[in-house]
Amino acid sequence: MIDTTRIQAITLDLDDTLWPVAPVIVHAENTLRDWLQQHLPRTAQLWQTPDLPREVRRAVVQRHPERRHDLSFLRREMIRDVMVQAGDAPGHADAAFEVFFAARQQVTLFEDSLGTLRALAGRYPLLALSNGNANVRQIGLGDCFVASIAASQVGCAKPDRRIFQAAADAAGLAPEQILHVGDDAQLDAQAAREAGMQAVWLNREGKPWPLETAPPPQIHTLATLVQWLLPR
């Protein structure tokens, strides 16, 4: 079990922790495709070439390895590259990205997310800690969090311990005073422990612990956190 007496703040992963991310990305991709079809049909047609987005992403990462953690930058540059290949003006990339980005913020929370966040926020400072580019304020969860730590801001992504330290610094606490909660065994649970935090693995699907290390405490629903941390 976790040592609740040491916890002074909680960091939470976002994608697949507070909402399922796959349908969000599908929706954002479809929204971008529709916009391109309306405004830049040549780019739209090229974008739908099988495997092209993956190849373009690989090329962008090769050109900018120092930005591989910044998903918004990679997406914008991918769009720009395809526009150039299609013979369209690359200056449209910013507008196209904003269409994608706005759709990417349209999430459907897991049914236990909002109630858990509100309950925990009444007792602990909550910090979002994500490799992705979801924006908790645009999503409508800004009032639950005191800070949001993203890989694009820090310059590195989980499992790098520096992003966990950045969250601890933002909270004004030592890592051992923070509990991290996330769905990924390696990037969240194990990495947080290696960075000196306590960790809980959110294992909604009941998967076996995939690493050779001893498993951390695990939960199958976020609501369990309320039972552990806010006993009646």
Q: Which residues are catalytic?
A: 13
- Looking at residue 95, its amino acid is A
Rounded alpha-carbon distances, angstroms, from residue 100 to 49, 68, 73: 18, 19, 12
Question: Quick check: bond before 159 cis, omega within 30?
Answer: yes
CA distance 192 to 200: 9
Q: Which of 160, 165, 204 is nearest to 186 (CA)?
A: 160
Rounded alpha-carbon distances, angstroms, from residue 82 to 26, 58, 66, 79, 85: 19, 13, 21, 5, 5
The SS3 call for residue 171 is helix
Q: Which of 170, 193, 169, 171 is nearest to 180 (CA)?
A: 193
